[in-house]
Amino acid sequence: MKKNKPKFKQIIDAAVEVIAENGYHSSQVSKIAKKAGVADGTIYLYFKNKEDILVSLFQEKMGQFIEKIEQETTSKQSAEQKLFTLIHTHFEQLSADHHLAIVTQLELRQSNKELRQKINLVLKRYLKVIDQIVEEGVEEKLFRTGLDRRLVRQMIFGTMDETVTNWVMKDQRYNIVDQAKEVHSLIIHGLAHNGQ
Amino acid sequence: MKKNKPKFKQIIDAAVEVIAENGYHSSQVSKIAKKAGVADGTIYLYFKNKEDILVSLFQEKMGQFIEKIEQETTSKQSAEQKLFTLIHTHFEQLSADHHLAIVTQLELRQSNKELRQKINLVLKRYLKVIDQIVEEGVEEKLFRTGLDRRLVRQMIFGTMDETVTNWVMKDQRYNIVDQAKEVHSLIIHGLAHNGQ
Amino acid sequence: MKKNKPKFKQIIDAAVEVIAENGYHSSQVSKIAKKAGVADGTIYLYFKNKEDILVSLFQEKMGQFIEKIEQETTSKQSAEQKLFTLIHTHFEQLSADHHLAIVTQLELRQSNKELRQKINLVLKRYLKVIDQIVEEGVEEKLFRTGLDRRLVRQMIFGTMDETVTNWVMKDQRYNIVDQAKEVHSLIIHGLAHNGQ
Amino acid sequence: MKKNKPKFKQIIDAAVEVIAENGYHSSQVSKIAKKAGVADGTIYLYFKNKEDILVSLFQEKMGQFIEKIEQETTSKQSAEQKLFTLIHTHFEQLSADHHLAIVTQLELRQSNKELRQKINLVLKRYLKVIDQIVEEGVEEKLFRTGLDRRLVRQMIFGTMDETVTNWVMKDQRYNIVDQAKEVHSLIIHGLAHNGQ
DNA sequence: TATGAATGAGTCTTCATTCAT
DNA sequence: CATGAATGAAGACTCATTCAT
């Protein structure tokens, strides 16, 4: 598994395309191989099995995804700005890669429990970023004290995830990046009147 | 499809059990038939095909699920109370049926796009309940004006859904009903200080 | 197996219709029962099994078919006239019952060897009629001597059968009865010049 | 479908054997694969589906069959000799391959309408050969004028086909090639006295 | 006699994976 | 490293037949 070989990335990129275009269950190894321009057998020189393609795909793509979010957020001053940047960058990146959006929001969820747990492992790094921003917010006295960290994380991630999934299922017909501000506001202030 | 025949429900209940215990991909029709105590062929007297079992399962179980929530919420006075009741009843019902929780949060998501769209059709009724509560909240001046209804709905549903999914993936080791109050608070007030 | 019960004929008539309309392989017992207006199980009070419906169908319908041919031919004087009448009546009867034509020429041939041998048993009576006409023709010195009886029978039956089959496969678009004269002539005189 | 691969022919030959020995309806794909010495899945590298095996079988075998008849007949001078050669070669070839005789005369007729139409397409080439011989016979003034070409073709093909089928159903217990002369005579002269 | 709900044996086809070249 | 032909396990679905009512 030499991850710096061009063929490794070639195959992963082919997999994203094939899965986005055909759906998870119609994405046979042979189809991915064909799109990547290699023989079926070659896949198995770079990946242990089919599931390993998917795990690697997620690691590779989500790795970059999270890295970008880390970069963008650390440069911001306040927790509030950081949270906005996180939401904005999250939406922006998936908006920029339609294939990836389909794959992460819809197709990859059709995998079995085992694969999903490996995916969650990758996501942990993202959740930590969220946790830290929340921590900072509390320290800055921007956020309430006594917040259940896990629930907060679930609200933030759940809201963004549901928002992106709905956008994908509506065939990405509107601009999701535009909604970052409002989502941010909802998370910060909730539904109630500011004054309350 | 004779939905009032006892065998119809027998098979659906067997399907919930089998899928929860074995996972979606290891749930062969023959396994469901065996658990239901009928012959394989009998399944096809009550369901068009395997996918139809899943769609019917979701319709049947979610129908009851949503009905319960509708009942519980309408009796409450304020939008705030209604929202709390919705969250509480949502958690309570899934908490009471561990198998169903696994099936709806994890296994049913492994279905293809087509099935998921049928599932979304059923969910629409639930989303309407949420929408109406939000509407009432705005009218009562409890909630802010100018809220993007779709985003609000996605925050509410996404937060609950993510919360339940995390609970299921943690093997339901803690009491999720206890969290209804905090989730409700997060949705109403967001992260910011009340005083802001 | 009380063959004079009306239901017996009811089922056979339904079978002819169903097979003609749906083809042999799409003619399930349940479909025949429905068309006959009886329950599936009732079929088995009148027939041993599905194959028995087909054998009975052939016996019943071919019995009448052959009987008619026997009647028509015996009244004729010469072997030449008898042969013409046989061909004409053969064509006429199938022409008058399109469903039966489809069933005997196309659909019933899709049955297995065993069933086909039972069918041949029924046909024997017909072949005997042909044989006797040939015999008479030889005695009348109308036909050549030294004819191989079996081959002659095969020529006569084969020609008629192929002619009807072609007509059925061309969706019965022309009048086959009109061809009786020419077929008769071909069988009597063959291809050669009369004068030879 | 790589028709020049040896495995293609291997499977077709196995299919002929299996169908001749077990009958059409007891000829499972797995049985054919086993006889051909390949895995079940290998069948599907060379054939689209089970029906495609049968169509290909008929095309392959009948192609050779007709080609041989074309070769043998063209070298003959008169239409009369050509017709004899056609009948003789027809009988000879099926006589030489007992399995093929069973398959073409009995088993392949158990296929559905769709398949039979594909088979008829292959047969068209054969019927054209017959038509041309008849045409030549008329030009040579050997045959009568005013003959209905289609009926003549049906007499010739029907007689041969019925003759072969009877021989196969009698378990090929006599020598059919010996009958070519008499069949030829019947077709040329019919039943009537030469002198008429 | 008549019903029709229930049975369960039987089979084609797919596709991830291997391995000889 | 790369190939791609070959493998073979696995499963949804049909439908003739039965039998309790």
| Residue range B79-126, pLDDT digits in tens | 999 999 999 999 999 999 999 999 999 988 877 777 888 888 899 999
Distance of CA A1 to the CA centre of its chain: 24
Please give the mean pLDDT across all residues of chain B.
92
Whether C23 contacts chain D with CB within 8 A: yes
pLDDT at A116: 81
> D109 to chain C: which residues are within 8 Å by CB?
109-110
Q: What is the CATH number of domain D1-47?
A: 1.10.10.60
pLDDT at A37: 96
pLDDT at C67: 97
Return the number of CB contacts < 8 Å for C and D: 142
pLDDT at B2: 39
Please check whether residue B15 is in contact with residue B72, taking contact to mean a CB–CB distance below 8 angstroms: no
CA D58, D59, D60 angle in degrees (round to 5)? 95
Q: Which chain A residue is nearest to residue B133, measuring alpha carbons?
A: A191
Residue C183 has pLDDT above 70, yes or no: yes
Residue B46 has pLDDT above 50, yes or no: yes
Residue B184 has pLDDT above 90, yes or no: yes
Please check whether residue D54 is in contact with residue D108, taking contact to mean a CB–CB distance below 8 angstroms: yes
Residue C73 has pLDDT above 50, yes or no: yes
Burial of C139 (0-12, 13-18, 19+ CB in 10 A): exposed
pLDDT at C2: 42
Pick the CATH number of A54-189 from 3.40.50.360, 3.40.190.10, 3.50.50.60, 1.10.357.10: 1.10.357.10
Of residues C42 and B108, more confidently modeled: C42
Phi/psi for D187 (5° steps) reads -70, -40
Asked whether this chain's domains D1-47 and D50-189 adopt the same fold, the reply is: no
Q: Which of C147, C150, C169 sits opposite D191 (nearest CB)?
A: C147
Residue C28 has pLDDT above 90, yes or no: yes
pLDDT at C66: 97
Residue C109 has pLDDT above 90, yes or no: no
Please check whether residue B102 is in contact with residue B168, taking contact to mean a CB–CB distance below 8 angstroms: yes
Of residues D55 and B194, more confidently modeled: D55
pLDDT at C194: 64
pLDDT tens per residue across span A87-139: 999 999 999 999 999 999 988 887 777 788 888 889 999 999 999 999 999 99
Q: Which of B:94-153 have CB within 8 Å of A? A: 106, 109-113, 116, 120, 134, 137, 141-144, 147-148, 150-152
Range from B63-77, C38-52, D105-119 carrying the lowest mean pLDDT: D105-119
Against chain C, the chains showing at least 3 CB pairs within 8 Å are D
Q: Which chain D residue is nearest to residue C115, measuring alpha carbons?
A: D110
Burial C153-175 (b: 16+ CB within 10 A, else e): bbbbbbbbbbbbbbbbeeeeeee
Comparing CA positions, the residue from A18, A16, A164, A34 lying closest to residue A93 is A164
Burial of A4 (0-12, 13-18, 19+ CB in 10 A): exposed
Touch C-A: 3+ C-beta pairs under 8 A:
no
Please check whether residue D70 is in contact with residue D129, taking contact to mean a CB–CB distance below 8 angstroms: yes
Instruction: Please judge whether D23 and C134 are an interchain contact, meaning their C-beta atoms are less than 8 angstroms apart.
Output: no
- Tracing tokens 């007499």 back to the chain, one arrives at D155
Residue A1 has pLDDT above 50, yes or no: no
Instruction: Please judge whether D151 and C179 are an interchain contact, meaning their C-beta atoms are less than 8 angstroms apart.
Output: yes
B128 to B81, B185, C30, C134: CA distances (angstroms): 17, 21, 45, 86
- Tracing tokens 């998870």 back to the chain, one arrives at A24
pLDDT at D112: 73
Tokens of C176: 């086959």
Burial D1-28 (b: 16+ CB within 10 A, else e): eeeeeeebebbbbbbbbbbbeebbeebe
Instruction: Please judge whether D189 and C189 are an interchain contact, meaning their C-beta atoms are less than 8 angstroms apart.
Output: yes
pLDDT at C118: 86
Whether B181 contacts chain A with CB within 8 A: no
Residue B4 has pLDDT above 90, yes or no: no
Report the share of chain B in percent with pLDDT over 70: 96
Residues 6+ apart with CB under 8 A from C42: C7, C33
Residue B1 has pLDDT above 60, yes or no: no
Residue A186 has pLDDT above 50, yes or no: yes
Name the residue ranges covered by the structural domains of chain C. 51-189
C-alpha to C-alpha distance for D41 and D189, rounded to whole angstroms:
54
Please give the mean pLDDT across all residues of chain A.
92
Instruction: Please judge whether C192 and D142 are an interchain contact, meaning their C-beta atoms are less than 8 angstroms apart.
Output: yes
Instruction: Please judge whether C193 and D144 are an interchain contact, meaning their C-beta atoms are less than 8 angstroms apart.
Output: yes
C-alpha to C-alpha distance for D100 and D93, rounded to whole angstroms:
9
The integer distance in angstroms from the CA atom of B26 to the C1' atom of F8 is 19
D11 touches strand E (CB under 7 A): no
C182 touches strand E (CB under 7 A): no
Q: What is the CATH number of domain D50-189?
A: 1.10.357.10
Tokens of B72: 């519980």
User: Domain C51-189 belongs to what topology?
Assistant: Tetracycline Repressor; domain 2 (1.10.357)
A71 touches strand E (CB under 7 A): no
- C2 by DSSP, 3-state: which? coil
Residue C1 has pLDDT above 70, yes or no: no
Each residue's pLDDT, cut to its tens digit, for chain D (196 residues) gives 334 568 999 999 999 999 999 998 899 999 999 999 999 999 999 999 999 999 999 999 999 999 999 999 999 999 999 999 999 999 999 999 999 999 999 988 877 777 888 888 899 999 999 999 999 999 999 998 899 999 999 999 999 999 999 999 999 999 999 999 999 999 999 888 765 4
How many other C-beta atoms are found inside a 10 Å radius of the C-beta of residue B193? 13
Residue B8 has pLDDT above 50, yes or no: yes
